[in-house]
């Protein structure tokens, strides 16, 4: 039996992650390995040429080992889905696109999805199930929590702490902090599309504008 990887989610996030996750899995596990879509709402047998199944069928499919990459952009939904997978004995899979640039001394947690043209600079600590979408970056000396999402083009400059479940919208920019005094994006904060964040953000805040202001 060959290993089996599921890409959980057939929305835009999943269809964007599938091509590079599929390539990375086959390079790592061999040409006989299999990659499928997994979704709670299966409406067709295939999605973009890949078999699509619900979690029950995924668990029933014979495999040497089962892995999952959760392709859901919303951080808390991603966390809930992972709890279901982990409780079923599924292992996390980290998918990194070949065009992504990873520099020195990076600790990357399990289950990450690092899209094409992403840059992770040096001396970075990143938690579990991080999503970095197209052209986003994390600069030096940053700490990123669990289940954090960077939408396309999100920019996180050096000496920033992004806590668990935070979401940075497309084109959002976090200014650089300093050693011992990082800019902190609090747990569950949402940074809106194109927002420019100049100061630390309280947990649960929704920020928008340039400069960014709390709107909720």
Question: Which of the residues are catalytic?
Answer: 140
> What is the Cα–Cα distance from 72 to 149, expressed in whole angstroms?
9
HSE toward the beta carbon, residue 75, CA cutoff 13 A: 27
Query: Which residues have C-beta within 8 Å of that of residue 63, sequence separation ≥ 6?
Result: 1, 2, 3, 4, 34
Q: Say if strands 213-214 and 206-208 run parallel, antiparallel, or are unpaired.
A: antiparallel
> What is the Cα–Cα distance from 78 to 83, expressed in whole angstroms?
9
């Amino acid at each position: 039996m060959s290993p089996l990887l599921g890409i959980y989610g057939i929305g835009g996030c999943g269809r964007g992650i599938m091509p590079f996750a599929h390539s990375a899995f086959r390079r790592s596990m061999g040409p006989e390995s299999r990659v499928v879509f997994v979704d709670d709402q299966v409406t067709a047998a295939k999605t973009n040429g890949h078999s699509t199944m619900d979690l029950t069928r995924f668990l029933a499919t014979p495999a040497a080992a089962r892995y999952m990459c959760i392709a859901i952009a919303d951080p808390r939904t991603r966390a809930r889905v992972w709890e279901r997978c982990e409780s079923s004995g599924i292992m996390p899979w980290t998918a990194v696109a070949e065009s992504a640039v990873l520099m020195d001394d990076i600790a990357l947690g399990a289950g990450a999805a690092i899209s094409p043209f992403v840059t992770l600079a040096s001396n970075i600590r990143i938690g579990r199930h991080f999503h970095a979408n197209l052209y986003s970056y994390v600069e030096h000396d940053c700490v990123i929590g669990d289940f954090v999402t960077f939408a396309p083009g999100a920019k996180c400059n050096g000496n920033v702490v992004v806590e668990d479940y935070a979401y940075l919208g497309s084109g959002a920019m976090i200014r650089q902090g300093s050693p011992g005094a990082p800019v902190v994006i609090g747990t569950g904060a949402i940074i809106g599309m194109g927002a420019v964040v100049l100061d630390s953000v309280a947990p649960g805040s929704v920020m928008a504008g340039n400069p960014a202001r709390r709107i909720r």
